[in-house]
Amino acid sequence: MSGSENRARIGSSWHDSEPSLGLGSKPQDSASRTHLQNGLTRHSKASDGYILTENTYGQLRLAQRLSSSEDEEKIRSRDAIRQKSKEMQQKLQKQKSDYSSKKNTQSISLSQPQTSSATSLASASISNGGAKGKERRIKHIILNPEYRLLSGNETSGVEICQKLFGITVFEYSNGKSNHHPTHRDRKLVVQSVVEGSRAFCSGNISRGDMLIRINDVDVSWRNFSQLLKTLNKREKVRLTFQSPKIIGPKSSYTVLQVPEADLCLATLGKRLAHIQEELAHLNCVAMYLTLVQSSSESELDQMEDVVYAFPPGEETLTALRGLFITLSSALLDVVEQPAVRSHLHLNKSRIHVAYRQCGRDVLVFAMPGNRITPSCLEKVLNAFTSLLVLLFGDVQSAFQDCDRVWLDKIMALTFHRALELDTAHRKPDHIQWPSLTSMLTSDPWNIRLLALSSKDRLLCDEILNEFEAMDFDDFLDDVDLFARRKYVIRGTSLYYKGHLITSHLFEEHQRDVNLFLHSHELLSLSSRQEVNQVFVWHELKFNQDAVTSVPVGYRPCVTRNFLMVIGLHHYYLSVLVEAGSSPDQSQNLPARPLPLLVEQGRATLAQLETEEVHMSQCCEESLTSTNRDVVLTCPDQFCVHHSPRSRSGAKETTSNGKVMSPHNRPTLTSTKTSIDAQLLSRSRSKSADRLDDRDVSSHQDASIVIRRYGSKHSYGSNDSGGSGSSGPSKGRGSRISSATDLTSISHSLSVVNIDKGIAPGGRLTRGHDNYLFSYVHLDEGAGVLVAPTDLQLLEQHSYIQAQVLDNFALACHKIKNLLHCSVGNEAGKSVFLSQADEAETNALEAGTLFRCSFQSSQDKRQVSSLQYWVVGRTFSSPRPQLLFVCFHESTDQSMVETAFSLTFGT
């Protein structure tokens, strides 16, 4: 009640008492607000429909009351103004330091570090505060200047800089007297970053940064304009910034409240209108059409069948809506199957259309054929409808009830992602076939799992468990205790930079949460920048039908589920909260989150970054390290060289084994040699293992080694699963661990290969103990995905490998479609084995052998070739899972068989 209001009052009075300086008077106008920090712009809600938010969320305060939105807005705008003026008026800081430290307001010192006792006290008590601020961070940012924006008659360097880079430099005295000697010695300070500019997209430049070098030339006001004018137009410019030393806690942050906030601007750096404008050129539309007559007035309203259309200005395709709705509903009447997709040619360009029939209405997506494949479009539509169902219960009510502005935003994000608007350099009329990573993210239900050591994962599990227990009675007033009872935490999951760290959610819920985060582009946001400002509170409508076989006389109470996502640094904590377990409360629940939960969630995330835990370091290591359990090998090593003249001879060498001609060695990078050495040492240690079992026959020998490795691994990971002893993590911990068991594949592959490799000779000594090129493990039931990191793939980088990986991704797509189609469902049956018995048509495994041949760069007559398998296999129990492996052709299939069955204990 009084907390925020109080604050508001204090804030305003504080502000009022402030003398407004002529210097920075312009930004004080809250309506003209090109003011940003951490890549986020704050706007007033009235003007643009999204929230200007900046509050002083103090970790010191135990419970923050979120008051009504109006009040909050008032506070926020005041806060913003306050902070702005604060930064402008460093001169006043000394006098105010006492006050500001009490208020935890961010204060930036530019030239003279000030450490008043009160401030340092405050920063010490805040965990994420001052310690890091002590070092002056230098950051280099390379930008492509936008010369086309220059008109040629810019006079000041400030103007040029703004147009070239989108960086507005703070002009002392509004540029009038910048020849004044005292000003010329001043630093160049970033006042703001123009939204939508490249600098904005990079997300690295914040207000208050000092520009110290351009292309490694020291810059000041003296040479600023001169330097900018002499820039080479062709080249990228390297800007060096110095981050200011921040005194006091970095406690103020903006809240990106989903669903209210402007997601487009925050996640893509573009405004909604901007995206709509881009889309308008692209022959794409999303429409929700209805056949139901509007009962109210039967005027000649031409557009009454269009319930919703995006982008708003689209006309060509909108005019065809009669065709779409007729096609979809007529098909349903005639063949009792709704239309799935169709193509149409419009002005010689091909357009794919996908349909989703909902009762008497139809949702239509149309996108240009040169930007998306039909199957992808179908996926996009699928994901979108699933999201609507998740958030609103069903599609119809979603379009009737929900906020159009929100729909526009989500639609803009969906289209932006689907049509890859951000890749400006793409060639027209050429569909970019998905790379491995894009394939992995194309399915919005799945998320990559971060490979953490079991110890670290256990730590995360424990921290989450503590939060889930909600056992903070000791610190609470009675009032808060009572409020807490309204909510029960059903589970949590933790993300880092778009990767899943650990999940305590049920599988289907995890999938839903993944979908939510993906479709709001929050995951990609977190991998780009810190997401301290993100906060989500949204009701989820789970499918209630899942509860079956209710005993007679028992009425399950109606509960509501809310998803809460809190961002901190690069983490997201997603919490599934169940409300209304007591029947009388279920009806009129507050739409607002319980402040206590928010705060505790934030504290939970903060725990991950304490001295002892420093989880982000572990995560970064895991993201960047290439020294994994699963070691991939480079396809280059397996190329067989032969010149076309001696074909027959070449064939013999193929069958005999590898011919390692010196010609392929130069293609390997220098880092490769060190890896070779590493492989070598690995294989040596394993060969010692092998020798122990030498007396057994060779085949048995192989299996024994596999088993030992496999069991060791599964033991280790079971350990991590079981140790999440209390609460819900028990079963779920082991779920993740089954995925981590994948490591044993490579082990078994490589270990067995040593047994084989010794006989032909040479493989061991060269360290070629590994046939595995790549793998993807997709736990569809749980929405978890394990794959080598990009960095790991980069380590082995070569031209051939890139091709192999591309092809692997494509083949995975095909295999995945195939395996999906043939598993039961009606639609799939027509694709494969329509006439055969259903019971016998469940596809379990599919594989393809590829051959690539290419000319060696050194010798044109030499043709190299490489053969490799891509195999995908499904596992139906306990959850639907898919495993794709890419390995060299010479691998014994029986060995792969062993590896498959070993990994999952089937």
Partner 1 sequence: MVFDKVCYQLVDALLLQAASPLFSDITGAADVLMVSEASVLQTFIEAFAEAAESPYGCLLIGGRIVAATERWWGLTAGELTLLSTLLLSLSECSARDVPVYLPHGSPAIPHRLLTFELLRNVTACVICGPSPPLSDLEKEISRFWVPAVETLKSARKTVPRNVPASIEVDSNILGFILVNTLTHRCLNSVSLVREGGRGQGEEPARQEKRRAVLRSFYTMVIGSYFRPAAGEAGQDRGPGELRHEPTDTYIVCSGHKCYAHSSGKYQMFVLFAAKTPTFAMRSVTQKTLNLLVKDKNSPL
Residue ranges that bind partner 1, judged by CB under 8 A = 373-374, 433, 803-804, 806-807, 810-811, 814, 818, 822, 831-837, 839-853, 867, 892-894, 896-897
CB of 832 to partner 1, least distance (A): 5
We find the least distance from the C-beta atom of residue 358 to partner 1, in angstroms, to be 28
- 3-state SS string for 182-229: HHHCCCEEEEEECCCCHHHHHCCCCCCCEEEEECCEECCCCCHHHHHH
Q: How far is the CB of 820 from partner 1 (least distance, A)?
A: 13
Specify the residue for token string 């002499």: 230
Nearer to partner 1, 141 or 800 (CB): 800
CA dihedral 614, 104, 256, 139 (to 10 degrees): -60
- Least separation in angstroms between residue 683's CB and partner 1 is 24
CB of 825 to partner 1, least distance (A): 15
What lies within 8 Å, CB to CB, of 88 at 6+ separation is 21, 23, 24, 27
The pair of structure tokens assigned to 839 is 């019971």
Q: Packing angle between helix 893-904 and helix 743-757, nearest 10 degrees? A: 150
Residue closer to partner 1 by CB (options 705, 800) is 800
Are the beta carbons of 492 and 757 closer than 8 angstroms? no
**Cβ 835 to partner 1 shortest distance, Å:** 4
Nearer to partner 1, 612 or 840 (CB): 840
Contact criterion met (CB below 8 Å) for 308 and 411: no
Q: Which two structure tokens, joined as six digits, stand for 251? A: 């406690």
Single-letter code of the amino acid located at 862:
Q
158 neighbors 189 (Cβ within 8 angstroms): no
Q: How far is the CB of 868 from partner 1 (least distance, A)?
A: 8
Listed in sequence order, the residues at least 6 apart from 182 whose beta carbon sits closer than 8 Å to its beta carbon are none
Report the candidate in 787, 711, 719 with the shortest Cα–Cα distance to residue 744: 711
Tokens in use for 586?
A: 């279920």
- 148 or 851: whose CB is closer to partner 1? 851
Q: Give min distance, CB of 814 to partner 1, in A.
A: 5
Residue (200 or 869) nearer to partner 1, CB = 869
Which residue, 711 or 834, is less far from partner 1 as judged by CB?
834
CA angle 266, 272, 278 (to 5 degrees): 120
The span from the CA of 141 to the CA of 205, in Å, is 8
DSSP 8-state class, residue 9? H
SS3 label, residue 731: helix
Structure tokens at 679: 């492989």
Q: Kindly tell me which of 174 and 830 has the beta carbon lying closer to partner 1.
A: 830
Length of the chain: 906
CB of 746: closest distance to partner 1 in angstroms?
19
State the minimum distance, in angstroms, from the CB of residue 703 to partner 1. 15
Distances, alpha carbon 123 to alpha carbons 10, 117, 126, 552, in Å? 22, 10, 5, 60
Nearer CB in complex with partner 1: 398/886: 886
DSSP 170: P
Q: How far is the CB of 713 from partner 1 (least distance, A)?
A: 24
- The angle subtended at Cα 716 by Cα 710 and Cα 719, nearest 5°, is 135
Q: Which amino acid is at 249?
A: P
Nearer to partner 1, 280 or 852 (CB): 852
Q: How far is the CB of 818 from partner 1 (least distance, A)?
A: 7
Nearer to partner 1, 158 or 805 (CB): 805
| Cβ pair 606, 59 in contact under 8 A | yes
Q: Cβ(189)–Cβ(208) under 8 Å?
A: yes
Instruction: For the CB of residue 822, give the shortest distance to partner 1 in the complex, in Å.
Output: 7
Find residue 256's DSSP bridge partners: 534
CB of 367: closest distance to partner 1 in angstroms?
A: 15
| Tokens, residue 798 | 């070569």
Distance between CA atoms of residues 734 and 623, nearest Å: 22
Shortest separation between residue 639's beta carbon and partner 1, angstroms? 13
Q: Least distance (Å) from partner 1 to the CB of residue 372?
A: 12
Q: Which residue intervals of 571-614 are DSSP H helices?
A: 595-607
CA 356 to chain centre: 27
Nearer to partner 1, 3 or 847 (CB): 847
Q: Which residues pair with 488 in a beta bridge?
A: 578
Comparison of 274 and 829: residue with beta carbon closer to partner 1:
829
**Phi, psi dihedral angles at 526 (to 5 degrees):** -70, -25
Strands 447-449 and 784-786: parallel
Going by C-alpha positions, the residue among 529, 561, 530 that lies closest to residue 544 is: 561
Q: What is the 3-state secondary structure (H, E, C) of 75-102?
A: HHHHHHHHHHHHHHCHHHHHHHHHHHHH
Tell me how many degrees the CA angle 368-371-374 measures, rounded to the nearest 5.
Answer: 70
DSSP string, 474-500: GG--HHHHHHHTTEEEEEEEEEETTEE
Residue type, 725: S
Question: What is residue 876's three-state secondary structure?
Answer: coil
If the CB atoms of residues 705 and 809 are measured against partner 1, the closer one turns out to be 809
CB of 755 to partner 1, least distance (A): 17
CB of 800 to partner 1, least distance (A): 10
- Choice between 243 and 874, CB closer to partner 1: 874
Please identify, using beta-carbon distances, which residue of 442 and 729 lies nearer to partner 1: 442
Listing DSSP states for 357-395 in one string gives EETTEEEEEEEETTT--HHHHHHHHHHHHHHHHHHHSSH
Diameter of the chain by CA atoms? 93
Is 76 or 641 the residue whose CB approaches partner 1 more closely? 641
